[in-house]
Amino acid sequence: MKIQKILNILTLLTGAIAVTVTSLWIGKQAYSWLPPQAAAESLLIDDLISFLVTLGSFIFLGVTSTLMYSVIFHRAIKDDFTDGPPIEGNITLEVVWTAIPILLVLWIAGYSYQVYEQMGIQGPSELVHLHNPLAMQSAHAEAKDVPANALTEPVEKIDVLAKQWAWVFHYPEKDITSTELHLPSDRRVRLALQSQDVLHGFYIPAFRLKQDIIPNHAIDFEFTPIRPGKYRLTDSQYSGTYFATMQANVVVESPEDYQQWLAQAATQKPSLAKNQAASEYAQTSNQSVQTGWVTVPPAAPPLVNSPG
């Protein structure tokens, strides 16, 4: 009996180690499932997703391994149709399997809130003038892969206007407007988000950032781009008929190239920007036979120095 008990313990330990190592490996693979990490905040989100994948894999593999072990080594002998032993309830076991999920949920909630707080996402509490505990901290302060010269204080302020169906970006430093969002790499950026009409959502998947934009409210939103390249901004909230056309390019470039772009855009006279929603609406309005539902007319194409 002692030898059998020792073998059972060794089997349990071996299985637990195998499940743990495999879960950690799967959690590391989660990083490759996501878009490139283009902002300091993306490091926080990716770490959270990797943690959740690791935890979910551990639970899945642990339960599956236990079932497979029971099926293989503790199955009834052939032609044995008798009932199993009548086992009464076990209070200790019930307490354990209730406490473990509660602790896991609290662990996930605490970690998620910590990330949410570090990213400085402003929720409904900010908009109804309640105390907002979500301080806008520098997400890259604890990130190892962020360049050391990245600044923690906002150095670039940009006004963002969302409307049906276009994004308009205004750069107060040079007093220029664009339909393409240009950002300096490794510099803290503060956006002043406003909506002209309905609820919109500022969402850049490569940055792992999403902030709701509420009409009649100005929302300050900070982040730090860290990877030069061209990314995509979309509206994460359904805002009407031409909602799918409400997209814009996000260009992250070196501070030198960013300043050069500002200087070049400042020399251009404002002109009407191309707007897909307005073009499609004009085509349907000019049809002799009207089909489909009546839609909200898109806002007029904005006047911009740089149409993108």
Q: Report the chain (308 residues): mean pLDDT per 10 consecutive residues.
A: 77 86 93 89 91 94 89 80 80 89 93 83 49 40 50 73 91 89 91 91 91 88 91 90 89 92 86 79 66 72 77
Q: Residue 27 has what pLDDT?
A: 92
Q: Residue 289 has what pLDDT?
A: 63
Beta bridge partners of 159: 170, 192
Task: Quote the pTM value.
Answer: 0.75
Q: Residue 138 has what pLDDT?
A: 41
Residue 173 burial (C-beta neighbours within 10 Å; 0-12, 13-18, 19+) = exposed
Backbone CA torsion sign across 151, 156, 157, 160: negative
Q: Residue 251 has what pLDDT?
A: 94
- Report H helices in 2-39: 2-29
HEC assignment per residue over 189-211: EEEEEEECCCCEEEEEHHHCEEE
Q: CA-CA distance, 47 to 140, in Å (whole number)?
A: 13
Q: Residue 154 has what pLDDT?
A: 59
